[in-house]
Structure 1
Amino acid sequence: MRRPRTLVLLAALALTGLGSQAAAAPPDTGATKSDNITHLASVPMTGPLTGGVNTDIAFAGKRAYVGNYAGFAIYDIGDPANPQLISQVSCPGSQNDISIYDGLLFLSTDQSRSDSSCQSIPQSPKIKESWEGIKIFDVRDPANPRYVAAVETKCGSHTHTLIPDPAHRSVFIYNSSYFPNAEYPDCQPPNDRIDIVKVPLRELAKAAVVASPVLFPDGGFPGSETGYETSGCHGITAFPARKIAAAACMGDGVLLDISRPAAPRVIDQVQDAANFSFWHGATFNGDGSKVVFMDELGGGGGAECNAEVGPSKGATAVFDITNRKLKFRSYYKIPRHQAAQENCVSHNGSLIPVRGRDIMVQAWYQGGFSVWDFTDSARPHEIGYFDRPPRVPASFGGYWSVYYYNGTIYGTEAVTAFDTFKITDPRTDPAARVVLSELNVQTQPAFRR
């Protein structure tokens, strides 16, 4: 979430080190929620991450890995009601989106800095030597993460998506970035492409950009009074089982064929000039026959969940995938109007794997989170929610990412804590039978519907 840049500008933190912090009682004074949601625990920010902004979450085994503008943290979630902080690493650099694979942690840096180290300082993107890109850490010992490699990418790394290639002991990374500028020597317009990084798992020093395919040879969406011109992608979600991916690219929603990971191919492209401002992210259903796209109207800092904005802007759009084409079916937006000072818009969520149903949990910043059912693509509806009152004094906050993993809902409250929740409902209870060993939400596993 880079837009607007003035929303979250963090000073570089000089602190480094590890810490230990137990969960606290959930601070739910004044919160409203559905009866089927229980707030289990809340672990406040501490040490080098205090004052940062919590972002994305990845999971492996009984651990959660949480990105933060100031670095990242690793939690033991063996007991979801009492998560324990194992370690945290100070490594400032917007926005530190995170993923995990084979004991390696990948971190996106979308801020021009003096070099690739964790001790770097912000530096103008007009300076050619400035660095942005993807950092790689060895986290096989979660108490002692080690920084082992880095790959510089043009225009930085806002988000990234892993596509494993186990046959060749490698992983491909689809790197998303946007907002080129003619004054930035390493980020020139039109930036109608993505960068693809290949990481040989046994030779990390050879990790490098291997392709930069152009997705928009025609330039993509030209922009409008309410919508951003396409100049790159914000987020990509892969569905390896069907060899497809959904790319949310500012003014365009795109369906990709990824059967050749280093050479993805556009197979369909949609736009929504009437209602979408910024195509932000995507989530497939369990068998890859549907995909929902999020619109981050207001860049995450705007109060977009009110009667004036309405139900179709800053919402999530549901598409059926028919003959490898995207067919729009409906919009979904939380049914509770938020206060004028509450930043609220459609944001990061994940599927809850229930056979025969399409259900997901989704973050809405200060709108809290919503559990909603889109089994009937034309009539999505909410089945659970959690929502705190406005922050006092008014300020940025709320849930950045809310994901379901092995029976528990996990959320990053952007400026306060890492939270855990339980949903108890006959419509979602069967999902607890699906047990994963690892989850990067942007690399979505298949489930039988």
Structure 2
Amino acid sequence: MPTSPTLSKRRRVGPRTGHRLLTFVGAASLVLGTAVAPAAADSPADDVVTSDNVTHVANVPKPSPVTNTNSDLAFTGDYAISGNYDGFVIYDISTPESPQIVSKVLCEGGQGDVTVSGDLLYFSVDYPRRSEECGAASSTPADPTAFEGIRIFDISDKTAPRYVAAIRTDCGSHTNTLVPGKDGRTDYIYVSSYAPSERFPNCQPPHDKISIIEVDTHDPASAKVVAEPVLFPDGGNHDQPGLLRPTEGCHDITAYPEKDIAAGACMGDGILMDISDPVNPVVTEQVRDTNFAFWHSATFSNDAKTVLFTDELGGGGAATCNERIGPERGANAIYTLKNGKLDFEGYYKLPRHQSATENCVAHNGSLIPVPGQDFFVQAWYQGGVSIIDLNDPANAREIGYFDRGPIDENRLVGGGSWSAYYYNGYIYSNDMTRGFDVLKVDDRRLRPAEKVTYDEFNPQSQPRYKPGR
């Protein structure tokens, strides 16, 4: 079990893909800090442009010492948890237009994908460290003793998260997905990872599997890997021209636990799975697309009759939202699910061309919970945030947006919105470089979503919503 670093509490003040391309610096222990007031939204330096129905209401810059690349988001009650390559930050969003930092956890490991389950936080480590401890120096995948995998934190006290367990997984954890057990006290964590090599003792090819961790939520320190199902016994898609990577396990999985299904975005393949037995997922459908370079993520419609997959052309580091690349690459592919089969309906690509110095491609998003309708909000790196009408899957269209100008007008500098999710009346965006943003939408089509509230939200563990929930 990891040794928890010494913690200091703060005084509460006032009213929350990347691939292996980014580097980070420094080794230190878990740190908790003081509140940071939100910056004024739409300051001149931001060069923000929005549609008439979107207002940028708050921005909180990345706080020291958690200043590396911001990544994914998870939500619990009045809190948002922001993943970062250096650790994570917990925001109090009880007043969404004035988010306050509650705690900052410095525990490096790269990627920083976050999932919350009650008082537990699951955190992905995808850059090897010399040990499981927070503050351990960086290592290499060639070191057989290096740690990569999942860290578990107890966040029952949001001001003082406590590190309680570390579970090694082959090839680390690029992303993680929660599948709650039906007994009410067991969590299953689907760990997606990739990039195997003969040189890496803990990440050997073929790596056509995922790791499944079982967590007794009453005893998280006993968590362990209980299965490593091979999803691609035939090796998956290796031969398609233009693939960023061949199929090697999955990049990300979105589960829909209430319906016992999951969708996997697996580099060269898009798949559906039956997860009625969460330890033994069964692939039931597999699709490919010659326009896709990297199947990155997936989202179901609320009725699970539509599935949206994203293509992260260029790995998140390239300028692909332009006329030269066109509307069918680096886009969303939208399918309808009929009799267990995925039927392709159409693409959606950001309609606002970006400059040659802005990395831009389809990335993480979630449904806006309008009962009986399909609306989606999505991050596009420096393409900003797009709000999409999916009600006609063959003709998806943008109905709102938030977009900053380039970080640098003269050279390509990576940044922009990694994740954009709707949660309890607001859109929250985690910008890789500029921090935590809050957006408010005023659109009659989306107002019914304001009656849908969640106590907890992990976009990759998709809840079913009902009016007035």
Structures share a fold, TM > 0.5?
yes
2:286 partner SS: strand
Deviations for 1:192-218, whole angstroms, at most 9, x for unmatched residues?
Answer: 011100001112222000000110011
| Equivalent residue pairs, number | 445
Cα contact 1:295–1:314 (8 A) shared by 2: yes
Alpha-carbon distance in 1 for matches of 2:312, 2:24: 21
Aligned to 1:422, which of 410, 426, 440? Answer: 440
Equivalent position amino acid for 1:197 in 2: I
Alpha-carbon distance in 2 for matches of 1:15, 1:194: 30
Q: Which residue of structure 2 aligns with residue 381 of structure 1?
A: 397
How is 1:7-406 mapped onto 2 (pairs within 5 angstroms)? 7-14=21-28, 16-19=30-33, 20-29=35-44, 30-50=47-67, 52-167=68-183, 169-227=185-243, 228-272=245-289, 274-392=290-408, 394=411, 395-406=413-424
How far off its partner does 1:64 sit? 0.4
Aligned to 2:449, which of 401, 421, 431? Answer: 431
1:291 partner SS: strand
Equivalent position amino acid for 1:72 in 2: F
Deviations for 1:74-117, whole angstroms, at most 9, x for unmatched residues?
Answer: 00000000000000010111101001111111100001110111
Alpha-carbon distance in 1 for matches of 2:137, 2:415: 25
Deviations for 1:393-415, whole angstroms, at most 9, x for unmatched residues?
Answer: 64111000000000000000111
Q: Which residue of structure 1 aligns with residue 11 of structure 2?
A: none
Deviations for 1:221-258, whole angstroms, at most 9, x for unmatched residues?
Answer: 01333112101100000001111000000000000000
Equivalent position amino acid for 2:163 in 1: Y
1:187 partner SS: coil
How far off its partner does 1:418 sit? 0.5
Deviations for 1:324-377, whole angstroms, at most 9, x for unmatched residues?
Answer: 111110000110110011000000000001112100100000000100011111
Equivalent position amino acid for 2:235 in 1: G
Q: Which residue of structure 1 aligns with residue 459 of structure 2?
A: 441
Alpha-carbon distance in 1 for matches of 2:403, 2:184: 45
Cα contact 1:15–1:48 (8 A) shared by 2: no
How far off its partner does 1:28 sit? 4.6
2:393 partner SS: coil
How far off its partner does 1:287 sit? 1.4
Alpha-carbon distance in 2 for matches of 1:15, 1:396: 27
2:363 partner SS: coil
How far off its partner does 1:220 sit? 0.6
Cα contact 1:223–1:230 (8 A) shared by 2: no
Q: Which residue of structure 1 aligns with residue 5 of structure 2?
A: none
Alpha-carbon distance in 1 for matches of 2:52, 2:195: 43
Cα contact 1:356–1:448 (8 A) shared by 2: no
Deviations for 1:241-292, whole angstroms, at most 9, x for unmatched residues?
Answer: 11100000000000000000000000000011x2000000001111111110
1:49 partner SS: coil
The alignment-based identity, stated in percent, is 50
Deviates more, 1:16-25 or 1:379-388: 16-25
The alignment yields a C-alpha RMSD, in angstroms, of: 1.2
Unaligned runs of 5+ in 2: 1-16
Equivalent position amino acid for 2:272 in 1: L
Aligned to 1:407, which of 415, 425, 450? Answer: 425
Equivalent position amino acid for 1:314 in 2: G
Alpha-carbon distance in 1 for matches of 2:181, 2:332: 31
How far off its partner does 1:16 sit? 4.3
Q: What TM-score comes out, normalization by structure 2 length?
A: 0.93
2:83 partner SS: strand
Cα contact 2:357–2:408 (8 A) shared by 1: no
Alpha-carbon distance in 1 for matches of 2:424, 2:340: 30
Alpha-carbon distance in 2 for matches of 1:159, 1:9: 18
Alpha-carbon distance in 2 for matches of 1:2, 1:42: 22
1:75 partner SS: strand
How far off its partner does 1:166 sit? 4.7
Equivalent position amino acid for 2:456 in 1: E
2:183 partner SS: helix
